[in-house]
Amino acid sequence: VIKVAESFRMFSTIAVSDFDSFESAGQDALSVLWRRIIIQPPENKDLQEIVKARYPDLRLHAVKLIETFERVNSISMFQIVGFHPECSSVYCLGRFSLRDLLKWCKRITGLEFCFDGSLSEEQCS
């Protein structure tokens, strides 16, 4: 037995795709003790602001980075499940998440390129 203060709260997250149903995600004997809050993924404009705030050196490239991120997600999901016009967000069945986008940005800034508004062909490959 573990005794905790009456005000004790535990927070947890779980990522589910449209392949999973929200009802079946995280089902176990303790699931009745959890409160489920569904948070919609950020939109394109929000992604740009996140990238600009987290990686100021990429400010000039944020739009292109997000476009590329969306394109890669769209292509990968089209290959997996086919075209779904009802999906208005890159995250609708998206293979790559915001976490992946931020990891990508971290790698790019770690390469210490001179971000003067243009990228050479070598930097893009």
pLDDT of residue 89: 46
Cβ neighbours around 13 below 10 Å, total: 6
- Helix, coil or strand: residue 4: coil
Helices (H), the chain: 44-54, 62-81, 98-110, 121-124
Q: Report pTM.
A: 0.58
Token pair in block for residue 77? 């999901």
Which residue type, as a one-letter code, is found at position 69? F
pLDDT of residue 38: 78
Per the CB < 8 A criterion, the answer to whether 66 and 46 are in contact is no
Q: Which residue bears the tokens 């790019």?
A: 108
pLDDT of residue 49: 95
pLDDT of residue 36: 77
Q: Which residue bears the tokens 């009456």?
A: 6
pLDDT of residue 4: 92
pLDDT of residue 88: 46
Cβ neighbours around 91 below 10 Å, total: 22
pLDDT of residue 90: 43
Mean pLDDT of successive 10-residue stretches along the chain, which has 125 residues: 90 65 57 76 91 93 91 70 49 70 91 62 58
Of the candidates 49, 104, 96, the residue with the CA atom closest to the CA atom of residue 70: 96
User: What's the pLDDT tens digit per position in 62-72?
Assistant: 999 999 998 88
Number of residues that this document lists for the chain: 125
Per the CB < 8 A criterion, the answer to whether 64 and 79 are in contact is no
